[in-house]
Structure 1
Amino acid sequence: MVEKAGLRERKKQRTRQALTEAAIRLFEDRGYDQVTVAEIADAAEVSPRTFFLHFQTKEDVLLANADVRVDLALEVIAEHRAGERLPDVLVRVTDQMIFNAWDHDLPSGLAALRARLAASEPSLQARLLQRYLTAQAELAPALQRAFPDDLDTTMASALVGAMVGAVGAAALTALRRGDGPDEVRDAMRQAMALVARSVT
């Protein structure tokens, strides 16, 4: 039974990957507004119904790994070591988010495409903002529970907002500048280090 579940999960991941890669190609070739969900599904050789089993909207294809990043951050926070300092946990959270979940987004061009489209597509801007707010709502309580002596609810929310904002802004700036994957990762880590230094 475990083997079947593993097989199903791998198939699901392959389908998501195929949809994401098809969307990237189509958006790059024809422009975001000119591409429909049906065309993305067709290019990935699946049905539109299958598309909607994996993504709610066309915008969500561009945010394919956002939930993975949040889950990784929540794991790091929940499993922090006894006596580990808050700034060190924040740095580890960022490392996990960057080096695990961004491994596909940066080399595939998804991150760069998302950055370009975020500057011009109102629907994607709205979805990105919604995703940021959702991530903050999940991460702040987890961080406050992990460090109740250091953070109250307000300060946990402020810290997560600073972290998400700084890392996201650094990534977008580096991507728009045309930096490669390694430079984008470095920019994100430097932004997180700046936030971590502000935590006493």
Structure 2
Amino acid sequence: MAGLRERKKQRTRQALVQAAFQLFGERGFEETTLADIAAQAEISTRTFFSYFASKDDLIFHDTEERLETAARAVVRRTPEEPLIDVLRRLVDASVESALNQTLGKKEAAVRTRLILTEPSLQARGLHLLFDTQLRLARTLHGSFAGELSMVEAAAAIGALIGAVKLAVVADLQDDRSFDEILDTARRAAEIAISGLRSLA
């Protein structure tokens, strides 16, 4: 019975996410209300708050899950495995996570556009980016105990994620497909990793 309830909750949560991104794409972020999203997902506005606290939370609904995926890629480090290999696995895991995300390509493009254009989402996105990098840096430092200082681990994560994020934003165009955006991310990651070989 508990398993059935949990599956129902997951379906409702996913319905809210899908409804929200459909409406955000059609009407815009500010123009879409919580009541609109709840009605589209066929639940009450009151029930909405059992799943999300705000519209912003819908945009960043999978942040923690994606962070855990990235962290697992780092923690899997085997003895003597070099930093470059771990960083490359981190990128591969993150790209795979993006490809397998609950959002479709169209919805992922809507999210990217909104984060870049809505001031409240920009602020939240920057805060989460900083928090994510710091947590990954601590994880990397722990996986290379005695080999990488915290400063070196932070520099490696900052360089890698910073390169990917900035390259994607700089190369973002209305007609670019999600796959092309991912190719940009991979290329930027390789450039950053090449520059980090001095830490190896």
Q: Is the 8 A contact 2:38 2:45 kept in 1?
A: yes
> If the length of structure 2 is used for normalisation, what is the TM-score?
0.87
Structure 1 residue aligned with 2:196: 199
Alpha-carbon distance in structure 2 between the residues aligned to 1:119 and 1:164:
17
**Cα drift, residue 106 of structure 1:** 6.4
TM-score (norm 1): 0.87
Distance 2:103 2:114 in 1: 15
**Match for residue 141 of structure 1 among 131, 138, 143:** 138
- Give the one of 165, 170, 178 matched to 1:168: 165
Aligned residues: 197
8 A contact 2:105–2:178 mirrored in 1 = no
Report the CA distance between 1:15 and its aligned residue: 2.1
Secondary structure of the structure 2 residue equivalent to 1:25: helix
Letter in 2 for 1:148: A
Determine the structure 2 residue equivalent to 1:158: 155
Q: 1:167 to 1:52 in 2, by over 3 A?
A: farther
Aligned to 1:45: 42
Once residues 60 and 52 of structure 1 are traced to their aligned partners in structure 2, the CA distance between those partners, rounded to angstroms, is 11
Query: What's the offset of the Cα at 1:181?
Result: 2.6
Q: CA RMSD in A?
A: 2.1
Which region of structure 1 is more displaced relative to structure 2, 57-66 or 98-107?
A: 98-107
Amino acid corresponding to residue 158 of structure 1 in structure 2: A
Task: State the Cα distance separating 1:177 from its structure 2 match.
Answer: 4.5
**In structure 1, distance between residues paired with 2:153 and 2:122:** 25
Q: Distance in 2 between matches of 1:95 and 1:176?
A: 23
Match of 2:21 in 1: 24
Q: Percent identity?
A: 40
Please state how far the C-alpha of 1:35 moved relative to its aligned partner.
0.9
8 Å Cα contact 1:73-1:96 kept in structure 2: yes
AA matched with 1:98: V
